[in-house]
Structure 1
Amino acid sequence: MALMPGLQINIGQQLKLTPQLQQSIKILQYSALEVQQTISTTLETNFMLELDEDGPDEAEEFDAADSEYEEEPINEASETELDIESSDTLSDDLQADYEWEEVYIDSPISNSIKSSNNDDYTAPENYTSAEVTLSEKLYWQSDIYSWSDSQEVIASYIIDDIDDEGYLKTPLEDIMASIQKNEPDLIISIADIEQVLFVIQQFEPTGVGARNLSECLILQLKALPQNPYVVTAIKIIEENFDLLSVRDYKRIKKIYLLNDEELMEVIHVIQALSPRPGREYSSTQGEIVIPDLKLYRSKDGFIVELNQDAFPRLTINSAYIDMAGSLGADNSDTKQIKEQLIEAKGLIKSIQSRGETLLRVGKYIIEKQARFFEEGEQAMQPMVLRDVAESLELHESTISRATNQKYMQTPRGTFELKYFFSTGVSQYGSDDQSAIAIKSHIKQLIEGEDPNKPLSDNKLMALLEEKDINVARRTIAKYREALHIPSSSERKKLNKFK
């Protein structure tokens, strides 16, 4: 059968995302810090976008002036050629770009955004002294040590391979191979590397350069003033570290002929050691969290609003619009101004849409979790993405984007919005309980238990039933493990040597 060209007509539906919608989705899923970075980058490349440093009053006056500009164009030629005022793409929404305060005026939860003091101020806790890294600390000690030429080279390779926690996890054979590859004239052996490593292990912080946990603890014990308990601790770690790891204290007492008091002293010596000696030189600056929403308590309840300090106020540079009006349509500058204007308006709309969505989600969370803000975690209600999506008539993916890496500052602290989402645990004949609330009850019961008689999972189940919380023992065990709380037998052993 011969193949011949032909034409076919097919009818079908296809969904395409406009560039503006794609940008809105991207801006919505950004964190506050990422939005700030996007704004900063756009300000550097788009001359139509600028910061609105005027207060609300000045902005309103500018809106009025802009409206006059729309009603009375500079000349007919500019109106016809550039078509800024009559274009469906640009004119209908131009005025809205400046009305930052009025975007959410219909929202019952926040009908205005308060003015803020934009004075530059840095809190004292944000001023930090210069930090010394672990590598710098080790190199400083190496520089003042009297190495031979070959030992100094070996020391530099070893220090480079020590991780941030102070451990040397690279095998000595690999270090020697690396040195031989990069320093072909240097003749060394494993014994030479071990000799240099022994010296580095005497550096501060004590325990640095260890190849495993037991070696790290032994290095620290050997640096302590020697007494019977320190000597016994060294022997236990060298000979029976596995028994110590599983807290098999009965066998330890039997092997080393210790009574309870002596074993307690030995355990206290070991517990005082640092399993990660390099941590003290790690960065101490906390992660910057910028809340997108702020929650206030008023006499009528709670009020939520956008964090006006999180984002700079944006506006359109009217000077370039006036300039475009005096240029011809064929002018390259006119086309560039139009492109930049579309981009600037699109960014402003995307940020406003993001804020509106966050306010709607924040309002729903406050209404649903009102008891949490009054009573704490134990009053947390079950809530899933589907509930919010159905209530706000949005897609679940939109709610997911609006809650991920978005934070709300509340009287109880700053929380990520997705923190308020929790699955419900079915109850027999009563309302479902939030998993977060159940975990909070378990944590509270364990914190108040008798150290000598820790509560078993069965006992926790019975105590929760007294609070009308009916969950299975395996569920309690799962939540307890999620809270990183050991079993009752493990807690009893730990409490014994506290």
Structure 2
Amino acid sequence: MKHALQLRTSQQLAMTPQLQQAIRLLQLPAAELNLEIREALESNMMLELEDESDGDPAPSEATTSEPAVTDPSEMPLGSNATDAARLGESLPVDERWDEPVTSAAVNATEPTGGPDPLENRAGDERTLQAHLDWQLAISKLSARDRQIADTLVDAIDERGHLSEPLESLQQTLASELQADVDEVRAVLAFIQHLDPVGIGAQDATEALTIQVDALPADTPGREAARRVIQQGLGWLAEGQYCTLEKRLGLDEAALEQAITLIQQLDPHPGSAFSQPRTEYIVPDCFVRRVNGRWEVEINPEASPALRVNSYYASLVRRGDSSADNSLLRQHLQEARWLIKSLRSRADTLQRVAQTIVERQQAFLEQGEEAMQPLVLRDVAEAVEMHESTISRITTHKYMHTPMGTLEFKHFFSSHVPTADGGECSATAIRARIRRLVAAEDPTRPLSDARLTQTLQDEGIHVARRTVAKYREVMGIASSTDRRRPARPQKEKS
């Protein structure tokens, strides 16, 4: 094989750390952006918040006693407000910032000391299994029964029901403890009377039965409630009160008392432990109507403004190649790029939000039925940016409007042609379907075909399968499931 040297030219896209940082900050939500800024403030001495006091630390005696230098290149930068504002723009750019590698400016170094930025976050709430384990630990169960109980607790789902048949669990335990069904059932009965009562039931009916049996015998409506749960829970769910009265032999007062008691019970006793923790959304911008015009204002709390500390910037000297000065220059360079990236993010967010508001003024004034069709490409063309940039800046970003706090993505919707040649957004169609279903006669609910015909009468050409898909997305049941029989009128004596 003969060796030879060849010269080739090629093009390659290399993302510098500055560009990587700008793209990453662009897609961060408000909470993560604040955490990123907090870490940068702790790791970079050159950065400070704009709302902090302007009092800079006084220079040390060693600094004040230094002889005056005559060479302008040796003058300290930032010795006055003007120099500090320039942020050392005349400094040579650090070559490491031009290389397509990860830099400290892209991934902020973690603080080595000081308080943990996450130490004030709310702790995880107690789980259902932990709550049951605590009660079993203080009980007087034997070691054998405790092992059976642990297996049963592990099989309880988030609703508080037993996720597996009792026979299947018994077979699992039989290989280890040789436990029979009666023994497992006895331990399960003990668990079902722990807090919350009814935990470990097979279904909602059993959970309600256990809870009503645990009530004092003299509780008003207890026996009637038990009969309703055992024999007429389905009729109760469908609102067939007359059927309940006839089949169970209850008068109207007794049935009402039983229903009142059942409403105080919980068919899913474990649901209280599986509720997600409430997380508050910080809007990235506010939309207000000022002098008849909709205006967008960036929320300063969602993106705090940063600046370079003028005192530390004044310590950077030109032509000094010491290790300390190199570190100061690196921090100054990183601070400049971070501030520039944050300003670029805020400007992009402002322009995109303003464009969305201008396109969706009808929605802000009239509601969802006036939502206009809008896709990423429309906004990208309006602000002269790439669609990927619009996608990043609109993901997990929220806008506080008179209609509520909404995600940017809420304003984007595909379109459906109308009879007059125009377009109607999918959001507006869903709002119309919701309005029609809310106003329907429950004894004669609108089918998907009738909803489709009604929309076509309004000039919106949409297929029946599309209406069915929108209905399912909104969680609206079919017309068969929505039908409610009319309650017969009692004959006057």
* TM-score, with length taken from structure 1: 0.73
Secondary structure of 1:430's match? coil
Who is 1:89 aligned against?
Answer: 93
> C-alpha distance in 2, partners of 1:394/1:175?
63
What residue in structure 2 maps to residue 44 of structure 1? 42
Secondary structure class of the residue paired with 1:227: helix
Specify the alignment match of 1:455 in structure 2. 446
1:148 aligns with 2:146: no
Distance 1:259 1:197, change over 3 A: closer
Q: 2:379 aligns with which of 378, 385, 388?
A: 388
Deviation at 1:385, TM superposition (A): 0.7
- Judged with a 3 Å threshold, the aligned counterparts in structure 2 of structure 1 residues 260 and 170 are, in CA distance, closer, same or farther, namely closer
Secondary structure of 2:400's match? strand
Say whether residues 1:311 and 2:303 are aligned partners. yes
> Of 223, 227, 239, which residue of structure 2 is paired with 1:227?
223
Q: Find the counterpart in structure 1 of residue 474 from structure 2.
A: 483
Using the TM superposition, give the Cα deviation of residue 334 of structure 1 relative to its aligned residue in structure 2, in angstroms: 1.4
Question: Which of 402, 411, 422 is matched with 1:431 structurally?
Answer: 422
Query: Does the 8 Å CA contact 1:384/1:421 hold for their aligned counterparts?
Result: yes
Aligned pair 1:465/2:463, yes or no? no
**After superposition, where does 1:345-384 map in structure 2 within 5 Å?**
345-384=336-375
- Of all paired residues, the percent bearing the same amino acid is 38
1:463 Cα deviation (Å)?
Answer: 2.8
CA-to-aligned-CA distance 1:85-111 (integer Å, 9 cap, x gap): 533538xxxxxxxxxxxxxxxxxxxxx
Gaps of 5+ in 2: 56-67, 78-86, 95-119, 216-220, 489-493
Deviation at 1:11?
2.3
| Residues 233 and 270, structure 1, Cα contact 8 Å, conserved in 2 | no
Does the 8 A contact of 1:157 with 1:175 survive in 2?
Answer: no
1:333 paired with 2:329, answer no
Distance between the aligned counterparts of 2:182 and 2:3, measured in 1? 78
Amino acid at match of 2:41: L
Letter of the structure 2 residue corresponding to residue 485 of structure 1 = I
**What residue in structure 2 maps to residue 278 of structure 1?**
270
User: Which amino acid is the alignment partner of residue 90 of structure 2?
Assistant: S
Q: Please, what TM-score do these two structures have when normalized by structure 2? A: 0.73
Which residue number corresponds to residue 115 of structure 1? none
For 1:111, the equivalent position in structure 2 comes to: none
CA distance in 2, matches of 1:9, 1:205: 77
Larger deviation, residues 485-494 vs 318-327 = 318-327
In the alignment, structure 1 residue 134 sits paired with structure 2 residue 131: no
Give the counterpart letter for 1:148 in structure 2: S
* Alpha carbons of structure 1 residues 487 and 164: separation in structure 2 relative to 1, 3 Å: closer
Q: Closer, same or farther in 2 for the Cα pair 1:496/1:302, shift >3 Å?
A: farther
For residue 154 of structure 1, report the CA deviation from its aligned partner: 4.3
> Is this contact kept in 2: 1:197–1:209, CA < 8 A?
yes
Partner of 2:99: none
2:491 alignment partner in structure 1 = none
Q: Which structure has more helix as a fraction of its residues?
A: 1
Once the two structures are superposed, residues 418-444 of structure 1 have per-residue CA deviations (whole angstroms, 9 ceiling, x without a partner) of: 100000011233311011001101111
What is the aligned partner in structure 2 of residue 96 from structure 1? Answer: none
Match of 1:104 in 2: none
How far has the Cα of 1:22 moved from its partner?
Answer: 0.8
In structure 2, distance between residues paired with 1:489 and 1:219: 32
Structure 2 residue 30 is the aligned partner of structure 1 residue 32: yes
CA contact (8 A) 2:418 2:424 kept: yes
Query: Which has the higher mean CA deviation after the structures are superposed, 282-291 or 482-491?
Result: 282-291
Question: Is the 2:196–2:270 contact (alpha carbons within 8 Å) kept by the matching residues of 1?
Answer: yes
| CA deviation after TM superposition for structure 1 residue 40, in Å | 1.5
Query: Which letter does structure 1 place at the counterpart of 2:93?
Result: T
SS at match of 2:405: strand
Corresponding residue to 2:51 among 50, 53, 64: 53
2:424, 2:131 → 1: CA distance? 51
**Equivalent residue for 1:294?**
286
Measured at CA, do residues 450 and 174 of structure 1 come closer, stay the same or move farther in structure 2, by a change above 3 Å? closer
1:488 is displaced (CA, Å) by 1.7
Three-state SS of the structure 2 residue aligned to 1:348 is helix
**How many aligned positions are there?**
429
Letter in 2 for 1:210: A
Q: CA deviation at 1:365?
A: 0.6
Q: Distance in 1 between matches of 2:40 and 2:155?
A: 41
Question: CA 1:129–1:180 in structure 2 vs 1: closer, same or farther (change >3 Å)?
Answer: same
Q: Deviations over 1:301-360 (max 9, x none)?
A: 11101101223331112322222328931x111121122222222221111111111111
8 Å CA contact 2:170–2:181 kept in 1: the answer is no
Cα distance 1:9–1:179, how it changes in 2: closer, same or farther (>3 A)? farther
Counterpart residue identity of residue 372, structure 1:
F
2:16 is matched with which residue? 18
Give secondary structure in 1 for the equivalent of 2:350: helix
Task: Write the letter of the residue equivalent to 2:163.
Answer: K
Q: For the residues of structure 2 that align with 1:471 and 1:271, how far apart are their CA atoms?
A: 44
* 1:160-179 to 2 correspondences below 5 Å: 162-169=156-163
Could you say what secondary structure the match of 2:270 adopts? helix
Cα offset for 1:398? 0.7
Q: Is the 8 A contact 2:161 2:201 kept in 1?
A: yes
State the distance in 1 between where 2:187 and 2:385 align.
Answer: 64
Deviation of 1:75 (Å)? 5.0
Deviations 1:106-127 (A, max 9, x none): xxxxxxxxxxxxxxxxxxxx99
Q: Distance in 2 between matches of 1:179 and 1:139?
A: 22
Tell whether 2:320 aligns with 1:322.
no
